[in-house]
Each structure stands twice: as structure tokens, then as C-alpha cells.
Amino acid sequence: MKRRDFLQQAALGVAGVTTGLVQTNGNQLIRQGKVGVGQIHFEVHGNPKGKPLFLGFPLFPSYGQIFGEAQAVVLSGFLDRLVDRYRVLLADYPTIGKSGTTPPTELNADRVSADLLSVADAAGFKRFAYWGYAWGAAAGLQLASRTKRLSALVIGGWPPLGGDYAGMLQAARTNLPNPSPGSMAVLRNKEQYQQWVTFYESVQNWPEARANAGFRFPKLVFYGADSVTTTGGVTVGYAATIRDRRRDLEALGWRVREIPGKGHGVGLEPATIVPVVREFLDKAI
């Protein structure tokens, strides 16, 4: 990956929080105060001497602005339980909140991984742990297979082995003409939904077994015991897949944690999931 140019990185007047904007494609600069194509807004929270932790999608700095103040407690619930020991990086990605637009036809796995590394560079994270859930977990696996900078990897609600990439691509193509209201809560327009098609097209032949065999860092996968979703006519049983592949995952060094009585929404329950992840991270890094 070519090193990206940093256009702006400015400290806020709030103790423990910095914010910045990083250019990831060089196509357009900031002019007249407008955010250009390919620019990503990020924030760093917490202990300035803490362990670097990149907290990925579906958590991002503009969470409260997008979902409302009643939901802002979700993000603060994570941060409040992490910032004592960790320096937590969040990014409005992909094409969320205060970030500029990434052309949806460009959001393949290579671009996603390069963008995440550019944000880490801008935040001063040379080596870091990454934690993502659902699509953020799938993106984390792609990142992990393209860099040696990870100190640990936390994957939630997505199987590191046996991921249904074909099913997700089929669902994304089905949903493309008419994205669900849940998707549109995050997206800026219907055209942006193409980014999910682009991403899943790019990982259809990803050699997941070979990639996993090369992961030389501590790694955790967690999931709700009842985790399953149906979208675009495709049912994806995350829990069943991870449960079926548990022995293979553990043989590859994965720590596997099933959360009883929880579904796919457990990834946004900080009181439930942060203690599980901290038990792992506090020992791993």
C-alpha cells in the first residue's frame, strides 16, 4: 500500500480526545471548508499512553448524530469501559457522518484495508489491535491478511472460517434497487448501497484458510448464541457456522466465545460484550 498524504489533524479542546481528517485517495483536496472525496474523519479517545485499539464499524464518531442522542449511549458505553487502559481510534467509515464520499464502486477489500491503515497512520498508530463487528469484522479479516501491524484481532458476529460471502453478495445485489430502512439510516443515498456489492464481489475467492494460517497474533471471535439474520432473501446463520467450525478455529489459535441467550445485536451491547473482549485484550496486548 502506498503511504497516503495527511491533509489535516487537529486537536480538540477536550481532554483525552483528538480529531482529524485523512486523505486516502489524493483525488480532491479540502477547498472552501468542504470535505472532499475519499477523506475520512476520525477521533482518538482515552489514555494518551494507552494501548492502541482501532474500534471499527458499526461504531464510529458520528454515531450519536446519525442515530440520535438516545442511541449515543451505545458509543459512550463502549468508550467508558475502554479508555482507562486503551487509546481508542474511531473512524466515520465507510462514507458516514463527517467523512467525505468514497465512490461505492471503489470499496473493494484492498481499498478498505488501505483506508483503515491510512487512518491508523494519521492517528499515530504504528501497531494496534483491531475490533470490528459484522461487516466491520469481515473488513478486519481483510485488513489482517494485508498487514503485519496488528497486535491482536477481535472479530464479532462473523465467522473467520466458513463466512457466507456468496450469500452476502447475493443479498446485497437483491437489496441494491431498494435498500432497507435500516441500511438507509446510515447511507447518504441509495446509490451508496453499491459499496456492499463491490466489497463482497472482491472477497468471493478470498483464501480464508490460508489467510487464517498466517495470523500470528492473538485473536478472538465472539458471537451471540442465537445470532442469525435474513436479508435480501438470504438467511445467514453466524452462530451455527462458528459453532460448527469451533474446533478448526481453536486449532488455528482463535479464542472462541459464545454469548448465551443473545442474538446478532449483542455486538452493540457494551455492558455485555466489553467485559468479554477486555478479558481477552487485557492479557493479549
Give 197-251 pLDDT, tens digit per residue: 999 999 999 999 999 999 999 999 999 999 999 999 999 999 999 999 999 999 9
Question: What mean pLDDT value characterizes the chain?
Answer: 91
Q: Output the domain CATH number for residue 124.
A: 3.40.50.1820
Give the count of domains, the chain.
Answer: 1
Mean pLDDT of 43-72: 95
* Boundaries of domain holding 182: 8-284
Return d(Cα 37, Cα 99) in angstroms, integer. 9
Return d(Cα 52, Cα 280) in angstroms, integer. 15
Q: Report yes or no on 3 lying in a domain.
A: no
Give 40-52 pLDDT, tens digit per residue: 999 999 989 999 9
* pTM score, whole prediction: 0.91
* DSSP-derived secondary structure for 181-230: HHHHTT-SSGGGGHHHHHHHHHTTT--HHHHHHT--S-EEEEEETT--EE
Q: Report yes or no on 59 lying in a domain.
A: yes
Q: Report yes or no on 1 lying in a domain.
A: no
Q: Report yes or no on 138 lying in a domain.
A: yes
Q: Report yes or no on 126 lying in a domain.
A: yes
Return d(Cα 240, Cα 223) in angstroms, integer. 10
Q: Report yes or no on 2 lying in a domain.
A: no
Which SS3 state, helix, strand or coil, does residue 271 take? helix
Which SS3 state, helix, strand or coil, does residue 32 take? coil
Give 111-129 pLDDT, tens digit per residue: 999 999 999 999 999 999 9
The runs of H, that is alpha helices, within the chain are 63-67, 69-80, 109-122, 135-144, 165-175, 181-184, 194-202, 208-213, 238-244, 246-251, 270-284
Q: Report yes or no on 67 lying in a domain.
A: yes
Q: How confident is the model at residue 257 (pLDDT cuts 50, 70, 90)?
A: very high
Q: Report yes or no on 99 lying in a domain.
A: yes
